[in-house]
Amino acid sequence: MKSNYKIDLPRPRNVSEIRFLPEFVEYYETIWNDLREEVLVSYERSKLAG
């Protein structure tokens, strides 16, 4: 399932500065949890085709 995410972080964004903000961590965890299964399936397929 693909999702849209409204990212409400200040611009310009410097990842080295914002990556420890609680809001960034929450976005990261939410998006990674949504993508994890798809990424792992793709990874396993690439290993089999390898």
How much is the pTM? 0.69
Q: What are the CA-CA distances from residue 27 to residues 13, 14, 46, 47 (Å)?
A: 14, 15, 27, 29
The answer to whether the CB of 13 falls within 8 A of the CB of 39 is no
Taking every pair of Cα atoms in the chain, the longest distance, rounded to a whole number of angstroms, is 42
Residue 47 has pLDDT above 70, yes or no: yes
Residue-averaged pLDDT of the chain: 90
The answer to whether the CB of 34 falls within 8 A of the CB of 3 is yes
In the block, residue with structure tokens 């999702």: 3
What whole-number percentage of the chain has pLDDT above 90? 58
Return the higher-pLDDT residue of 24 and 45: 24
What average pLDDT does the segment 24-28 reach? 95
Token pair recorded at residue 38: 């798809």
- pLDDT score at 24: 95
What average pLDDT does the segment 8-15 reach? 92
